[in-house]
Amino acid sequence: MDLVLASQSPRRRALLEQFGLPFRVQVLPVEEAQSGRPLETAQANAVAKARPVSLQNPNALVLGADTIVVLDGQILGKPKDADDAVDMLTALSGREHEVTTVVALMINGQDADIFSETTKVQFRQLTAADIAGYVATGEPFDKAGAYGIQGLGGLLVQSIKGCYYNVVGLPVPRLVERLRPFGFEVFPSR
């Protein structure tokens, strides 16, 4: 069975490659949900990414995912501009927030498995110079919550509780467990 990643995210691609999972990429345009309860929004987006690709790839296992950053029950999306990035990072400074990824696995347009992973992230207390300097790197602009833990944004993080890879964008250890019933193994037996 083929594994098809329905995501443009270079971070998700890199994680699948890092762990030796064979896959190909196909992305179709979808309109993502922007409001509603955070977990329901992420699930709707993961399914919306996976379903049309699944319908075009009979008998393939299609992986759609959506990662959200949640502070005080509100989703922090990708910043619109530098001021928005500063506002998000200022709100996260010295506080704990949650990063949740919903993964939708589909075959022939039908749900095969849908699961979520949540990691708690504690930011250190940031100075205005920390925030301005990080925003000036340009790294925050294509990332939910205006930071990427796998890059310079990792310097903003004090600690995490949960899966690091989830914060990057794909909870790979849990994903590997969920892929086993479909014949995918990272450590195949001899």
Is 130 an annotated catalytic residue? no
Q: With contact defined as beta carbons under 8 Å apart, do 111 and 173 qualify?
A: no
Rounded to 10°, the helix 82-92/128-136 angle is: 140
CA-nearest of 165, 83, 153, 89 to 125 is 89
* Structure-block tokens of residue 174: 């849990």
Q: Which residue type, as a one-letter code, is found at position 33?
A: A
Cross-strand partners of 117: 101
Catalytic residue among 2, 66, 72, 130: 66
Of 174, 170, 168, 166, the C-alpha closest to 154 is 168
Q: Report the Cα–Cα distance between both ends of the chain, in Å, rounded.
A: 20
Phi/psi-derived region of residue 146, left when phi > 0, alpha when psi is between -120 and 50, beta in every other case: left
Active site residues: 66
